[in-house]
A and B are shown apart, each in its own frame.
Chain A
Amino acid sequence: MTYLAKPRLHHPSLAANELGFTRRDYEGSVSTLCAGCGHDSISAAIIQACYDLNLPPHRLAKLSGIGCSSKTPDYFLGASHGFNTVHGRMPSVLTGANLANRELIYLGVSGDGDSASIGLGQFAHAIRRGVNMTYIVENNGVYGLTKGQFSATSDKGSKSKRGVENHDSAIDLVSLALQLGATFVARSFSGDKAQLAPLIRAALAHKGAAFIDCVSPCVQFNNHAGSTKSYDYVREHNEAVNRLDLISSRAPIHVDYEPGTTTTVTQHDGSVLALHKLAEHYDPTDRIAAMTYLAQRQALGEVVTGLLYVDPEADDLHNSLDTVTAPLNSLGSKELIPGSAMLAKINADLR
């Protein structure tokens, strides 16, 4: 039950990060999702990523739409402000929040119904505007909270728990995000924390629209044979292109240098992405190649995971709008009201 707060006491041996926070400080209320839900693993990865990044929890704002996925922000980062908004409309609310205060880190959590169906438009437009955010879709290919309807990411030909076949083409949000100009695009699997947590860390450090499609099997309604979003299907068809380490700008770079298997990408803020390549040929800074590769693997029925594309020089909406460096919500009467003398001039011009 979410209204049951977790006890504050914790084991004294819990390690603190550089800011003195333990993992516990990044947790939220107890999850009300079904036991074994992939979404809880994603929450755990978010907690891990924020802890590893030494992020002051209150400097992050978490926003979501409606659905199982959108309930999860209550289950992590209890010291952060959160906003459970409107179905499919988290991207616009996050955009507005971001415009009001550019200094916070924005995490948008959504689902496949929330982002690929009702919210496809807002998903697309927030990404093409380059809102500085991390946008995670917890993708289970099914409407869980209303008990098992197909979503727009359900694969054509896949079967529902009731045995009904889906005749509609699936929307691949990763391909869309690439096409729309997202400057950080990744896919992962809720069951692969080793891959997911570093991806979330890198996305949070990225300046610009960072999108992570996280396949997250629904244990109740979409984990059966015939589903392409089940644990078994994803494990069997996962094609990981790389494993990622994020190294903050201050830390010395120690990566496992095995010639030909690791590349590094330095982001705008100085952070370094170290990519342990599993697929030799894969270059994550080539958008066109990424799109081609995705399409090829998709045709083979494979789920490509890893960091698929990053533009290390990306910028964001504030840059496009050329807003002041101070957060807009910090500006006061002095900066905002032109005053009566100016009004007298305006009046004179209107006579």
Chain B
Amino acid sequence: MSEPLKLNNDFVVKFANVNGSGSASANAMFAKSVLRMGVPVAARNIFPSNIQGLPTWYEVRITGDGHLGRRGGVDLMVAMNPQTWDRDIAEIEPGGYLFYDSTKVLPESRFRKDITVVGVPLTRICNEVYSVPRERQLFKNIIYVGALAALLGIEIEVIETLLAEQFAGKDRLIKANVAALHMGRDYVRNYLAPLGLQVHRADAVGDRIYVEGNSAAALGAVYGGATVCAWYPITPSTSVVEAFMDYCEEFRTEDETGKARYAIVQAEDEIASIGIVIGAGWNGARAFTATSGPGVSLMTEFIGLSYFAEIPAVIMDVQRGGPSTGMPTRTQQADLIGAAYAGHGDTKHPMLLPQDPGECFEMGALAFDLSDRLQTTIFVMLDLDIGMNEWLTEPFKWDDTRSLDRGKVMTYEDLESGVDFGRYKDVDGDGIPYRTYPGVHPSKGAYFTRGTSRNPYARYSEEGHVYVDNMQRLLRKFETAKSLIPAPVPRKSAMATRTGVIYFGSTTPAMHEALEILESKGHHLDGLRVRGFPFSDEVYDFIAAHDRVFVVEQNRDAQLRTLIMNEGDVDPAKLPPILHYDGTPITARFIAAEIGARLGASAPRSPVTEAAE
């Protein structure tokens, strides 16, 4: 028997539930109650592509030190799903805890000897108090939250406040929920003792906010001046547009008339969605769509057109496991190559790579300035982990002196003053031409938009050298993009080192924690977080300054690494890939073990196979 774990403000609780049982809101409330006690949490939903019946998990990492990535391993399993019982039990750390519904007596063989088992007869308590089946199910969730609060030292008043906020104005519901909460708490008080895992009030959250990346990106689109949105529902991106609708209704309704300063169209498919976006962009409105990998592949022809015809568009790609009949509810970073080179002919597109919801907001807004400035499609590459989970993140910031950068647009006055207008002429040497909005001037500035086969004045031409000149200008424009994409963020090791690591997006917090773990074992690595594509010189300088640079990402084919090698002259042997692609968010322990093993020292223990796999 392992010694029971004793951990304060630093442990992982995992809830195993049945989808559609109403557990999600109770679990989220559990996580939020810890946050309200000033202790950071990182909570992740691991859920099936299903509305009701299949297994679902919710993992809450309580992390006084503020490690917001997944750690790996489970200290307390709240096993509410008989279907996954065995796998769930197996996942508990030695010395860990199991919380379960003890109404039905289970043989000893169903448990483990090296863990502490805590039983609360949830079903019995419910059946004694409630007669309506739906009530029994919903209140059971609240009862276990009450029991867990008592077991883990969470202040019950904090949860009562959360219930009052959630059901504001519905006193009857508040009362009923608080009563259920107390039932759980009281059972623990009467029959059980607190666990070795304890939450203590702290002041480690600061002014940070707790929000989903999809919602943050949608708010970014509002601040970025998007007025047209066309979309087709696809997990995990749907909530981007749902949030955009809500924010628009709130912030984009004209006071005097109640009319909409936005247009949102649910299109018949992704092709029409991007078509609408391209049409609106051509006509001078800021427009975007939100989708995932399968949607991007359908949009590819239009994305290519946007590249050649130089039309601003923004695509928020919330990445998931592929393909269409793939793993829509599992996270991956597997659309990088598909997005970067979407199209036929020679095409490439800038991408932004946010690390958390805070950057989803920033980059969600920035994407619209960049798309107007560069007159091309800009991808904002979220993933399910950032997009659909609430993350603790720095508060959103906005500089009120900032205005929308509409890029190089010739106005009526410009045209009237006699400036020479050639739609595809490189006037400033940065590869970016000037454009006009349709209808701007009665006799000047009109042009016929085509992909290619036209000269700098947009007149028909199939001459080879005209085509080549245009393609070279588009390359110059891509060079210009390097200076506009957010620069990579270095993370210097405490000691000088010839080993580095490159990573991006939702991998970041787990990566930083892994670097600390590795450092504690004597492995020093410089880090570089890439924030966009095309890569600036800093990325290649970083690689040049190190002998070996690991590239950590959540896909099978090392897609970021491929892009780095393809866009610059790098010896592949210098860039060992560290890849995690089972559909669950990457963990600090996984990264530390993989890199540790390659650095040839005693690696931390390798991670346990998860129930979700």
Contact = CB atoms under 8 A, between A and B. Distances in A.
14 contacts: A58-B442, A79-B446, A82-B448, A93-B282, A99-B228, A99-B263, A99-B279, A101-B285, A121-B268, A333-B403, A335-B261, A336-B222, A340-B400, A351-B209
Contact of A58 (B271, B397, B398, B441): B441
A94 B449 CA distance: 13
A339 B223 CA distance: 8
Q: Which 4 A-B pairs have the closest CB atoms?
A: A96-B279, A92-B275, A100-B285, A81-B438
Given A29-B460, A333-B403, A346 B284 contact: no
Given A337-B404, A347-B395, A96 B283 contact: yes
Contacts of B264: 321
B426 to A, nearest CB: 20
A103 B282 contact: no
B282 A328 contact: no
B459 interface: yes
B505 interface: no
Nearest to B259: A324
Given A96-B277, A101-B439, A328-B262, A339 B446 contact: no
Interface string B266-303: 01110111111111111111010000000000000110
A61 interface: yes
Given A83-B449, A333-B404, A99 B459 contact: no
A265 interface: no
B448 A339 contact: no
Contacts of B251: 338, 342
Contacts of A80: 438, 446
A350 B394 CA distance: 11
B225 interface: yes
Interface of A: 1-3, 29, 56-59, 61, 63, 73-74, 78-86, 89, 91-101, 103-104, 121-122, 124-125, 129, 317-318, 321-325, 327-329, 331-333, 335-340, 342-343, 346-347, 350-351
A85 B402 CA distance: 34
Interface of B: 207-211, 219, 222-223, 225, 227-228, 230, 251-252, 254, 257-265, 267-269, 271-285, 287, 301-302, 305, 309, 395-400, 402-404, 436-443, 446-451, 459-461
Contacts of A336: 222, 225, 227, 252, 261, 404
Given A89-B302, A122-B268, A100 B398 contact: no
A100 B260 contact: no
Nearest to A73: B448
Contacts of A350: 209-211
B272 A99 contact: no
B275 A95 contact: yes
A333 B263 CA distance: 17
A322 B263 CA distance: 8
Contacts of A331: 225, 227, 261
A93 B276 contact: yes
Given A56-B442, A96-B228, A122 B259 contact: no
A152 B439 CA distance: 35
Contacts of A340: 397-400
Contacts of A94: 279
Nearest to A121: B268
Nearest to A103: B439
B398 A343 contact: yes
B263 A347 contact: no
Nearest to B437: A329
Contact of B267 (A83, A97, A125, A343): A125
Nearest to B454: A3
Contact of B276 (A57, A59, A99, A327): A99
Given A58-B446, A82-B448, A346-B219, A101 B438 contact: yes
A342 B219 CA distance: 11
Nearest to A25: B443
Nearest to A78: B446
A329 B254 CA distance: 15
A318 B280 CA distance: 14
B222 A338 contact: yes
B498 to A, nearest CB: 42
A97 B279 contact: yes
Contact of A83 (B228, B230, B282): B282
Given A29-B460, A333-B403, A84 B282 contact: no
B217 to A, nearest CB: 14
A18 B264 CA distance: 38
A332 B372 CA distance: 14
Contacts of A318: 263
Contact of B263 (A89, A121, A323): A323
Given A96-B230, A104-B439, A84 B285 contact: no
Nearest to B461: A3
